[in-house]
């Protein structure tokens, strides 16, 4: 019997060409695995395509709820944002994909896992770190880094497929390189390769519209959270995946969550991309608006640092590490009382506060108001300031003393 290889399969040109390439160069039985994280219509016709191209079978695994509950929500709770802009849409899905590839490899008794990520990107790191952490004994084949891979363009891949009896309606025309799941869609290539160019949003956008073309009337939205997890929109209780779907609809309509960024990849180069994360942007903002009422100053300060660390961990593909588990444990503890209701309005790319309430709010009007309340005596501030600024005063006094001695 032939050895089996698991191929991470999207149905695109690259992974379609990899099927005959694996059979020809390694004599493997090729088993395709497509992990459904919410790609929607991209999954249409995949099984027929995979088998037509020479795969012995195709698994399509619906992991949308697991993706949202166990990978997206930890990032939301952490307010994990890479380089102050990127909401980790591609990054957070990769460890789950790696996990499922390993599960199918074990089920099928496969000796290798193959992926079609390029040798210039982050995804090769994320896939391979995940596989190594979960199955160090399984061989990894990165087609684009393999010496036997000589296909360097869409045209050459199309010709290779035709030579192997695969004549599918792939276009040789260049288009944006996209990655889509329930959380977001990313766009790279074409005019975006030059940071001097403005994105052609009319041609580019998939999930929504620009703020200029959004409705002229604002739309109010109310959300509830329990322990940091969203539970309803406008009074309708929903699971997390359905909340993200609804927020995508609302955010796309109002031009929310379009980010144009030049980011620093793990491999050392800068890359420019446009990300659409309409629902995710709203969810991050709503969650943070609620947290403002509940977390104390020191916890807030520490959580900002831990959120940045969590973003770095996810971006670099280090999900299956003790560090991620430890940071996530800290984040989960901070969410214990993040329960309440957030109201905001969406208007031409903006998410505008319209009122936040929580039974655990630390905001106390008696203390915070300009009128003197029972819990705060203005005179108490004098002693606090004297002690809080003592080191600064001592230093200034010493400098004054030295200046007098040197005259």
| Mean pLDDT (whole number) for 188-207 | 96
Kindly report the average pLDDT of the chain as a whole number.
Answer: 95
Q: Which of 10, 14, 36, 126 is catalytic?
A: 14
| Mean pLDDT (whole number) for 97-106 | 98
Over the stretch 217-245, which tens digit does the pLDDT of each residue have? 999 999 999 999 999 999 999 999 999 99
Over the stretch 272-286, which tens digit does the pLDDT of each residue have? 999 999 999 999 999
| Mean pLDDT (whole number) for 24-53 | 91
Q: Which of 94, 126, 180, 272 is catalytic?
A: 94
366: annotated active-site residue: no
167: annotated active-site residue: no
- Helix, strand, coil percentages in the chain from 3-state DSSP, rounded to 5: 45, 20, 35
Question: Degrees (nearest 5) of the Cα angle 334, 126, 327?
Answer: 15
Provide the residue ranges of all domains of the chain, joining segments of one domain with +: 4-173, 178-295+338-357, 374-405
- Measured CA to CA, the distance from residue 256 to residue 247 in angstroms comes to 10
194: annotated active-site residue: no
- Measured CA to CA, the distance from residue 37 to residue 123 in angstroms comes to 15
Q: What is the pLDDT of residue 277?
A: 98
* Position 267 pLDDT exceeds 90: yes
Q: What is the pLDDT of residue 349?
A: 98
* Position 370 pLDDT exceeds 70: no
Q: What is the pLDDT of residue 45?
A: 83
- Measured CA to CA, the distance from residue 281 to residue 284 in angstroms comes to 5
| Mean pLDDT (whole number) for 151-169 | 91
The 3-state DSSP class for residue 271 equals: strand
Categorize the per-residue pLDDT at 347 as very low, low, confident or very high, splitting at 50, 70 and 90.
very high
Q: Which of 56, 177, 271, 361 is catalytic?
A: 177
177: annotated active-site residue: yes
Considering the domain 4-173, what is its CATH architecture?
3-Layer(aba) Sandwich (3.40)
* Position 378 pLDDT exceeds 80: yes
- Measured CA to CA, the distance from residue 128 to residue 132 in angstroms comes to 6
* Position 28 pLDDT exceeds 80: yes
| Mean pLDDT (whole number) for 240-265 | 98
More confident residue, 17 or 370: 17
| Mean pLDDT (whole number) for 40-64 | 90
Quote the tokens at residue 364: 């106390």
- Measured CA to CA, the distance from residue 238 to residue 75 in angstroms comes to 19
Determine which helix (DSSP H) or strand (DSSP E) holds 18, and give its type and residue range: helix 13-26
Task: Please state the φ and ψ torsions of residue 306, each to the nearest 5 degrees.
Answer: -70, -35
Considering the domain 178-295+338-357, what is its CATH architecture?
Alpha-Beta Complex (3.90)
* Position 174 pLDDT exceeds 80: no
Q: Which of 123, 126, 180, 272 is catalytic?
A: 123
């Amino acid at each position: 019997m032939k050895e089996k290889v698991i191929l991470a399969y999207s149905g695109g040109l690259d992974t379609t060409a990899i099927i005959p390439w694996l059979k020809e160069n390694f004599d493997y039985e090729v088993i395709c695995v497509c992990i459904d994280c919410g790609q929607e219509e991209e999954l249409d016709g995949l099984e027929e395509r995979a088998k037509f191209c020479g795969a012995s079978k195709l698994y399509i695994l619906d992991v949308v709820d697991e993706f949202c509950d166990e990978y997206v929500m930890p990032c939301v709770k952490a307010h994990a944002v890479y380089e102050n802009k990127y909401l980790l849409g591609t990054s957070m899905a990769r460890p789950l994909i790696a996990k499922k590839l390993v599960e199918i490899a074990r089920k099928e008794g496969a000796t290798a896992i193959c992926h079609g990520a390029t040798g210039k990107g982050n995804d090769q790191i994320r896939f391979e770190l995940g596989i190594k952490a979960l199955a160090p004994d399984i061989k990894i084949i990165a087609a684009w880094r393999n010496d036997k891979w000589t296909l360097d363009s869409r045209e050459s891949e199309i010709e290779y497929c035709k030579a192997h009896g695969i004549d599918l309606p792939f276009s040789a025309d260049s288009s944006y390189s996209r990655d889509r799941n329930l959380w977001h869609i990313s766009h790279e290539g074409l005019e975006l390769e030059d940071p001097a160019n403005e994105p052609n949003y009319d041609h580019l956008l998939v999930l929504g519209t620009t703020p200029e073309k959004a409705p002229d009337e604002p739309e109010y939205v109310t959300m509830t959270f329990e322990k940091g997890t969203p539970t309803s929109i406008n009074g309708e209780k929903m699971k997390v995946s359905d909340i993200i779907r609804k927020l995508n609809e609302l955010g796309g309509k109002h031009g929310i969550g379009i980010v144009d960024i030049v980011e620093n990849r793990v491999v050392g180069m800068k890359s420019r991309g446009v990300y659409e994360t309409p629902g995710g942007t709203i969810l991050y903002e709503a969650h943070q608006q609620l947290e403002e009422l509940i977390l104390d100053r020191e916890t807030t300060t520490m959580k900002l640092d831990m959120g940045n660390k969590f973003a770095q961990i996810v971006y670099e593909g280090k999900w299956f590490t003790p560090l991620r588990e430890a940071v996530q444990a800290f984040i989960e503890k901070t969410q214990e009382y993040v329960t309440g209701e957030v109201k905001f309005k969406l208007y031409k790319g903006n998410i505008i506060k319209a009122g936040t309430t929580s039974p655990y709010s630390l905001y106390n009007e008696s203390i915070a108001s300009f009128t003197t309340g029972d819990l705060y005596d203005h005179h108490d501030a004098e002693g606090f300031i004297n002690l809080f600024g003592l080191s600064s005063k001592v230093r200034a006094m010493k400098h004054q003393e030295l200046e007098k001695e040197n005259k």
